[in-house]
Amino acid sequence: MFRTLPSSSSLILRFATILSASFFCIAHADAANRYWVGTTNRWETTANWAATSGGAGGQTVPGSSDIAIFDGGGSSDVLLRSAVSVQGLLLASTTTKTVTVGTGSFVIGSSNLRVGAGTLRGTGRPLRVAGSLTQTGGFITEASNVLSVSGSLSITTGGIFQSTGTIIFSGNTNQNFVIDATANVLIGQFVLRNTGTAGNNLVTINCSNFATHVCASGDEGLYSGGMTVTQGNLDLATYSQILIMLDSNFTVANNASASATFGNGGLALSGSVTVGTAASVTFGNNAGITFGGTGTMTINLNGASIPDITVATQDSVPGLNGCPKFVLANNLLITHLFTNSCTVQLSTHTLAATGADIINVGTITLQSGKYVNAGTGFLLYNDTYTTSLSSVGIGNRLYVSIRDYSRNLIGTSTESLVIHYSADHVRRR
């Protein structure tokens, strides 16, 4: 389920989708096509551009209304030394060329960025795509820069995407992130900044090509250095089994327009979970969060409830080293809690478990907080605590056995225990 992530806090995705042959057709009626036929590596040289595939050079350099096409022509790779803006960029399945954003910058318009082969290489400079990014092969490598995508993102069919930087979903309408098991993608940070109106601001992660829609299967899955929602709704419920794996924090910013919706998957991370007071997060009935790794990790769901939380060691969650200290940063309502030789620290907050199974193999430290377990039932005992009873007579004493085998429920002051119970059936003689 887990793997050790690269030290660059990268995201590893493995994706695929089948595109029709029309993928490489140019459909923008007003755009002029410019084909690379370069014998030198200068993008800005007119001799390196032709009006037709394999044609004579000497045409104008592609501009903001044009589509730049690399389809195998020319003998040289290309280097951008200036600010470049084009309507679209196509690295066709027939090219072997490398396009490097050197000291320049790159803006690609609504006719999209499409990579079927070859290499698009960033060197820390910004890359903005006003349309969609579709990769069905080849390489995209981005070194510590920011890639902003206003449309959908699909990295599939063996495409390799590697970045130590940040991907920003910056659209103003719904966006899709299509994932399946044939591509190899590493991304440092995932940021959602969709400015669409409510109901039109979703970023939906689609793992439908994975078995049972689980976005983590063996070595495949969605892995990120960190994930932040600053505006818009991160939709992890449409494909409800999605499991997001992070080696840093998950944050939903303090913004009424920021939210995250989980189905029956959830999070597994070596970091903290924070939901701002104006934001919201919801979880499906079988969703959960697993904390692993080392150091102190906090959780603040801003009042939301969650079915399952696991605080785990490396042995129980392969790929996560050590055992974290799990600290409440707000009151927390759960259904199930499992700690495996780790520490849960309540601080000043309440850990409330409704109808819950609390399996504590580690340590729960109350401090000045409160632990509440509203269980659905318990055993009744006789006065020697040796035999459990199925009923108790009216006027008789009720004995309840509380056992803490490892003496690991720790408080800094005198503890009190209050048990509320009700009788399901009262029978009078």
186/189 Cα distance (integer angstroms): 9
pLDDT at residue 355, rounded to an integer: 56
Query: What's the pLDDT tens digit per position in 403-426?
Result: 443 445 555 555 555 555 555 555
- Give pLDDT tens digits for 73-116: 999 999 999 999 999 999 999 999 999 998 888 999 999 999 99
Please report the pLDDT score of residue 347 as a whole number.
80
**Angstrom distances, CA of residue 59 to CA of 26, 45, 177:** 19, 9, 37
The whole-number pLDDT of residue 266 equals 85
Q: What mean pLDDT comes out for the span 145-153?
A: 92
More confident residue, 14 or 382: 382
Bridge pairing between strands 184-186 and 12-13: antiparallel
Cα–Cα distance measured from residue 93 to residue 137, given in angstroms and rounded to the nearest whole number: 7
> What is residue 359's predicted lDDT score, i.e. its pLDDT?
67
pLDDT at 365 over 50: yes
> What's the number of CA atoms in the CB half-sphere (13 Å) around residue 271?
19
55 has a pLDDT exceeding 80: yes
Q: What is the pLDDT of residue 220?
A: 45
* pLDDT digits 0-9 by tens, 237-290: 887 777 787 888 999 999 999 999 998 888 888 889 999 999 999 999 888 898
Mind listing the pLDDT tens digit for each residue in 300-348? 999 888 888 888 764 444 445 567 788 888 888 887 777 766 788 888 8
Query: In terms of pLDDT, which residue wins out, 296 or 415?
Result: 296
Q: Of the ranges 12-16, 282-286, 310-314, 379-383, which is most confident? A: 282-286
Q: How far apart are CA 242 and CA 240, in angstroms?
A: 6
Pick 375 or 248 by higher pLDDT. 248
Q: Residue 172: which pLDDT band, with cuts at 50, 70 and 90?
A: very high
- Is pLDDT of 127 > 80? yes
Name, in order, each residue with C-beta under 8 angstroms of 185's C-beta and a sequence gap of 6 or more: 11, 12, 13, 14, 15, 155, 159, 160, 161, 162
pLDDT in tens, 207-230: 666 554 445 444 444 567 889 999
